[in-house]
Chains A and B, each alone.
Chain A
Amino acid sequence: MRALHTAATGMIAQEVNVQVISNNIANMRTTGYKRQRAEFQDLLYEHVRRAGSQTSEQGNMLPAGVEIGAGVKTVGTPRVMTQGNLLPTGKDFDVAIRGEGFFRIQLPDGSFAYTRDGSFEMDAQGRIVTNQGYVVQPGITIPQNATQITINSEGRVSVMLPGNTTPTQLGQIELSMFINKAGLQAIGDNLFVETTASGTPQNGTPGVDGFGNLQQGNLEQANVEAVTEISDLIAAQRAYEMNAKVINAADQMLQATANVMR
């Protein structure tokens, strides 16, 4: 009875769906999180009687065939890369990107990762780093006695040094863009790495050539919407139940057949 397996594919798909939704809800308050959506497609069809096959020597044709599908598969969980809301925090090292682009972060192994999470800190050497202590590119070091740290919308970091009346410029934070940002691979810690699907990064300065602006003292919230997620969750749960009912029905039919023998 193929219906059993077909329903099983449906249940597996809804399980994946609930996993994706629960991860979205769990990350509702994660800075810079981009929600994912499970994308499904139907599986192969068996053409039991193919439409267009001849039914007589006179050339009559079947107008419609018998096609029986084999269920559903998860084809991907692409990220929805829309802008999240900006939440003012007032903290000097909190930077949000308004528009396109990712901060480039150097991982301890020397490779680069990309993030929308701009909740930065200063480490013991005065460098601007992420919450995990990874250096934000290009590495900008802030002198110990510096005050009034400002990061402008183009990413220029300037400070007031003692004895000076004008701010001193220390460097400019860079952003990276990808042609297919939905193809980036998440590695946890709010970080993404490039893949062959995402394409190679294009680096540039904020506010120029389509790159977004930076907003100091703000953080980008997750783009998860509670209402959407909850209604998706209800739909997923009901779909799961219905697939379970199909298994039940197939089982009853098999049982009826088994009972004929006695």
Chain B
Amino acid sequence: MDNTLLVALSRQTALQRALEVTANNIANINTTGFKADGVVFEEHLSERARDNRFALGDRRVSFVADRATWHNFRQGAVQPTGNPLDVAISGDGFLVVQTPRGERYTRNGALQISATGELVNPEGYPVLGDGGPITLQTQDRNITIAPDGTVSVSGGLRGRLRIVEFPQRERLQKDATSSFAAPDGVQPQPATRSRLVQGAVETSNVEGVIEISRMIEITRAYTTLSQLTLAQSDMRRSAIERLADVPA
């Protein structure tokens, strides 16, 4: 009898998490270089009852568990900004950011220059080139970033932005600030199929229509389950009333 309640509860808990993921996607619909998340549910079977003497046998009860979230690495739109320090990555590559927690990988190419002339991300952490951070001089003009990441100014080369790709991209973990961390065993490889587009940024790949329809689906499923719980509660109440109704 309790199974109805518990199955409904397992699904509702999973749906709440799914709504949280959708809410986070929608909150980041304008975040440069953001990659949307999705939820994977799985059926979680309870053990079969030991007793086989029932006429119809015992049926398994399946619960729901949210097994994983996955990152949708589809390319976001390339939005021209006209700012020479903005780069969008076309392809599967990532820029490498040096943070106090270690190297992080990002698709957010809205670069800036720090007080010491280093190319940094919006948080102020250096974006790495082949040989460490790339430093510009005060007089440097006409900054050009070539498709292969070469940073040049009128009168010289300043370095080459490191672009990396991951053979197992789906194993990257989100680390906030629009960046990803590589877990143990996932090694960045020099990019071969990625190139940079200067003067543009990659917009978030969250699609409003999909997220909103997913959200409606979640809300409806949740409400239906609440109805189910309600029906179950009513059944139980009437059962108690009938059974406790001692004939006089």
Closest chain-B Cβ to A258's Cβ sits at a distance in Å of: 9
Q: How far is the CA of A242 from the CA of B12 in the complex (A)?
A: 22
* Bound-state Cα–Cα, A70 to B66, Å: 18
Instruction: Please determine whether A3 and B22 come into contact, CB atoms closer than 8 angstroms.
Output: yes
Q: Which of A37, A52, A68, A262 is B183 in contact with, Cβ under 8 Å?
A: A52
For the complex, give the distance between the alpha carbons of A252 and B15 in Å: 13
Chain A residues lying within 8 Å of B70, measured Cβ to Cβ, are 64
Cα distance A259–B224 in the bound complex, in angstroms: 12
- Which of B173, B178, B218 touches A51 (beta carbons < 8 Å)? B173
Residues of B close to A48: CB separation below 8 A: 17
With a cutoff of 8 Å between Cβ atoms, the chain B residues found around residue A43 in the complex are 176
Cβ of B146 < 8 Å from any Cβ of A?
A: no
B132 is an interface residue with CB less than 8 A from chain A? no
A32-89 interface (Cβ within 8 A of B): 37, 39-45, 47-49, 51-52, 62-72, 75-76, 78, 80, 82
Q: Is B105 an interface residue (CB 8 A)?
A: no
Least CB distance from B119 to A in Å reads: 10
In angstroms, Cα B170 to Cα A7, docked, is 26
Which residues of chain B are near A42, meaning CB under 8 Å?
24, 27-28, 31, 34, 174, 176-178
- CB < 8 Å neighbour of B68 from A13, A62, A76: A62
Inside 8 A of A259's CB, which chain B residues have their CB?
226, 230
Stretch from B54-62, B87-95, B106-114, B157-165 at the A interface? B106-114
Contacts A7-B26, A249-B218: A82 and B82 contacting too (C-beta < 8 A)? Answer: yes
B182-222 contacts to A, CB under 8 A, are 183-184, 208, 211-212, 215-216, 218-219, 222
Q: Is B83 a contact of A3 with CB atoms below 8 Å?
A: no
Across the interface, do A199 and B116 meet the contact criterion of CB distance under 8 Å?
Answer: yes
Q: How far is the CB of B99 from chain A (nearest CB, A)?
A: 12
Q: Which residues of chain B come closer than 8 Å to A80, judged between CB atoms? A: 81-83
CB-CB < 8 A to B113: which residues of A? Answer: 179-180, 182-183
Residues of B within 8 A of A63 (CB): 68, 170-171
Q: What is the size, in residues, of chain B's interface with A at 8 Å between Cβ atoms? A: 71
What sequence of 0s and 1s flags, for each residue 89-113 of chain A, a beta carbon within 8 Å of any chain B beta carbon?
0000000000110000000000000
Contacts of B138 in A (CB 8 A): 177-179, 199, 202, 210
Mark each residue of chain B from 134 to 147: 1 if its CB lies under 8 Å from any CB of chain A, else 0: 00111111000000
Q: Does B49 contact A (CB under 8 A)?
A: no
Max chain B CB contacts within 10 Å: which of A49, A239, A253? Answer: A253
Interface assignment of A144: CB less than 8 Å from any CB of chain B = no
In the complex, A246→B218 CA distance in Å?
Answer: 11
* B72 interface hit (Cβ, 8 Å): no
Q: Is A29 an interface residue (CB 8 A)?
A: no
Who on chain A is nearest to B153 by CB?
A: A210
Alpha-carbon gap, A144 to B32, bound state (A): 56
Using Cβ atoms and an 8 Å threshold, which residues of chain B touch A257? 12, 226
CB distance from A228 to the nearest CB of B (A): 8
Name the contact of A238 in the complex, choosing from B32, B174, B184, B208 (C-beta under 8 A): B208
Establish whether residues B219 and A249, one from each chain, have CB atoms under 8 Å apart when the complex forms: yes
For B170, list chain A residues within 8 Å (CB): 63-64
In the complex, chain B residues whose CB is within 8 Å of the CB of A78: 110, 112, 122
CB pair B122–A71 under 8 Å, yes or no, is no
Indicate if the CB atoms of A3 and B19 lie closer than 8 Å.
Answer: yes
| Residue interface mask A236-262, B partner, CB < 8 A = 1 | 101100110110011011001101101
Check B208–A47 contact: CB distance below 8 A: no
B174 interface neighbour in A67, A82, A250, Cβ under 8 Å: A67
Name the B residues within 8 Å of A236 (CB-CB).
30
Residue A119 is within 8 A (CB to CB) of chain B in the complex: no
Q: Are B219 and A39 in contact (CB under 8 A)?
A: no
Query: Are A252 and B223 touching (Cβ within 8 A)?
Result: yes
Contacts A71-B23, A179-B114, A249-B216 aside, 5 further interface pairs with beta carbons under 8 A come to A42-B177, A69-B28, A71-B24, A82-B82, A262-B230
Give A contacts to B, CB under 8 Å.
Answer: 1-4, 6-7, 9-10, 13-14, 17, 37, 39-45, 47-49, 51-52, 62-72, 75-76, 78, 80, 82, 99-100, 177-180, 182-183, 196-199, 202, 209-210, 225, 228, 235-236, 238-239, 242-243, 245-246, 249-250, 252-253, 256-257, 259-260, 262
22 A-B pairs within 8 Å (CB atoms) are namely A1-B19, A3-B20, A3-B23, A7-B23, A14-B30, A37-B81, A41-B31, A42-B178, A48-B17, A64-B171, A75-B177, A82-B84, A179-B137, A179-B138, A180-B117, A182-B112, A225-B82, A245-B212, A246-B26, A249-B216, A252-B223, A259-B226
Q: Which 4 A-B pairs have the closest CB atoms?
A: A10-B27, A69-B24, A210-B139, A256-B226
